[in-house]
Every structure is written in C-alpha cells, then in structure tokens.
Amino acid sequence: MMSSNAQRSIVRWIHIIFGLPILGYIYGPQEEVQQYVSVFRFVFVPVILLSGLWMWKGHLVTRALSKGSG
C-alpha cells in the first residue's frame, strides 16, 4: 500500500496539472477555446473537483473503507 504522503503528493500533482489548462481556457482567444469547451466541462473540471475533495476529505473515505473491510 502507498504511504499517505506519497498518495497526497500524487493527488496534488494531478490537481495542479489538470488545473493549468483552465488558465488557457480563461485567457485564450475565444475562437480557439470554443472547440474545447466539452473537454473542460467533462474531463478537467470533474478531475479537479474530485482531486480537491480527495485532498480535503479523503482520509474519511479511507477510514470508512478500512473499517468496512476489516
């Protein structure tokens, strides 16, 4: 099993990497950005939200799963 520090670091980098294209979406030219709207809506935003929630409340999920399996 992965240590909690390693897991947190991986989730943090996923959050950062998937958050960077949002800057291009906000500051990019509207003509070019319009073709990527669905990618941002259905890929980037959910990954950012889930990774943020995992960093915030992931310890409760792992605690609940470990109690249920044991």
Q: What is the pLDDT of residue 70?
A: 61
| pLDDT tens digit sequence for 17-51 | 999 999 988 999 999 999 999 999 999 999 999 99
How many whole angstroms from its chain centre is CA 17? Answer: 9
Rounded to whole angstroms, the Cα distance separating 46 from 39 reads 10
Residue showing tokens 């799963």: 65
How many whole angstroms from its chain centre is CA 32? Answer: 24
DSSP secondary structure letter of residue 35? G
Token code pair at residue 40: 């941002």
Please tell me the pTM assigned to this model. 0.80
- DSSP H/E element including 40: none
